[in-house]
A = this chain, B = another copy of it.
Amino acid sequence: MTYSVAVAGASGYAGGELLRLLAAHPEFEVRTVTGHSSAGQPLIATQPHLRSLAHLTLRETTPEVLDGHDVVFFALPHGASGALTAQLTDVRLAVDCGADHRLTDAADWAAFYGGEHHEAWTYGVPELLVGAAGAKQRDALVGASRIAAPGCNASTVALSLAPGIAAGVIEPSDLVSVLAVGPSGAGKAAKTHLLGAELMGTANPYAVGGTHRHIPEIQQALRGAGAQAPVTISFTPVLVPMSRGILATSTARIAPGVTAAEVRAAWEDAYADEPFVHVLPEGVYPRTADTVGANTCLMGVAIDEAAGRVVVVAALDNLAKGTAGAAIQSANISLGLPERTGLSVDGVAP
C-alpha cells in the first residue's frame, strides 16, 4: 500500500530534505506540505530543487491540515512541535525531526532548552546499541507510532562511541568530540553570523565549553548503550564552509588492559551487518562528501597507543542520515517496510 504523508515545516532545510527523500520513496505519497510565513506559496518557490513536487502548495501548519494523513513528519523549530503533536487525533505515525520529544529527563530539557518539557518518543537511531548483548534501538522502532528523529550532531557522536561503551573497552567519563559541521544544520532563518560572507573561507566555533543542546542527548544515548560510569563529554562544534555535512572526531581513553584488537573488534562487530553504518578498513577515514545525500554514516577507527586513546572519525550528511534519512529509515521500520526502502547508500561526490 501507499501511505499518505504530510510534512510540516516544508520550507526549511530539514523539510526540504524530507521531501527530496520522500519524493523518491515508492511507498510514501506526499499529499500535504505546510509552512509558516511561506504558507500559500507554491512549494517550488521556496524549494526550487524539488522539481518533482512542483505541483504542491504550502498550507498553514495546523492540526486540522495535518490530521488524517498516515504519516506526518515534523521539521519545526524546537518548542513548536510539542504542542502541535499533542493535538493530532488521526495520524498513524508521527516523526518529529525537532528536539521536543528526544529527552527523557525534564531536568536536561530545562537546563539546555527551557520551556515546557514533552514526553520522550521512541528515539530514531536504529543502529544505536541499547542495553546488553548487541541489542539495537531498531527493535523499539518496530510498530512505534511516535518517533523522535535524532539531533544530527548527537546521533553522529552516539553512533561513534556507543560500540566502545557497550563493549566496555573505553572509559565513558572522559570523552571528547570536536565536529566540523556545515551551516545547513543551523536552519534557514536569516541571521548575520550565518551569512555566506561570514562563513566562507573561515572556520567558526560555536557553543564552546559544554553549552550545546545535543550534549544531554548524547549522554542519554550512551547511558542507554550501557555505560558503566557517568558519561561526560567535551563537545565542540565548528562551522566550516560546506553547506552540508558533519565530520565528528571523537576520542576516548581505552580501558585498562584492553588490546587494540579488542577495541577495533568492538566497532566492527557492532556495525558488521548494518546497511547504513560502515566501519572502514584500518587506516581509512571518511570524508563528508562521500555521504552527501546518502543515508550512510561512514566511520574510521584508529587506536593511538601513544595517547592511550581510540579516535573515531565519523562522517554523515546532517540533513540526510543526520535528520531526514534517519526519520524515513525509522518510519520504514515502524511500518514494517524494508528498512532500506527509498534510501540511497551512494553519496553525491565530488
Contact = CB atoms under 8 A, between A and B. Distances in A.
A203 B315 contact: yes
Interface string A184-213: 101011111011111111111110111000
Contacts of A204: 247, 287-289
Interface stretch (A49-57, A63-71, A89-97, A140-148): A49-57
A24 B188 CA distance: 30
Contact of A350 (B197, B290, B348): B197
Identical chains in the assembly: 4
A155 interface: no
Nearest to A208: B302
Interface stretch (A74-82, A114-122, A237-245): A237-245
Interface string A285-308: 111111111101010101111111
Contact of A232 (B232, B308, B344): B308
A91 to B, nearest CB: 25
Interface of A: 13, 16, 20, 23-24, 47-53, 174, 176, 178, 180, 182-184, 186, 188-192, 194-206, 208-210, 232-234, 236, 238-245, 247, 249, 251, 253, 278, 284-294, 296, 298, 300, 302-309, 311, 313, 315, 344-350
Contact of A285 (B52, B206, B296, B313): B206
Contact of A20 (B50, B51, B243, B346): B346
A156 to B, nearest CB: 12
B203 A306 contact: no
B180 A240 contact: yes
B311 A208 contact: yes
Contact of A240 (B174, B240, B350): B240
Contacts of A278: 51
Q: Lowest 4 A-B CB distances belong to which pairs?
A: A209-B302, A202-B289, A49-B347, A178-B178
Contacts of A245: 201-203
A9 B238 CA distance: 29
Nearest to A253: B174
B307 A233 contact: yes
A347 B306 CA distance: 37
A49 B243 contact: no
B234 A287 contact: no
A195 B196 contact: yes
A232 B306 contact: yes
Find the residue from A16, A190, A349 having the highest chain B CB count within 10 A. Answer: A349
A84 B291 CA distance: 34
Given A200-B200, A241-B200, A232 B307 contact: yes
B249 A238 contact: yes
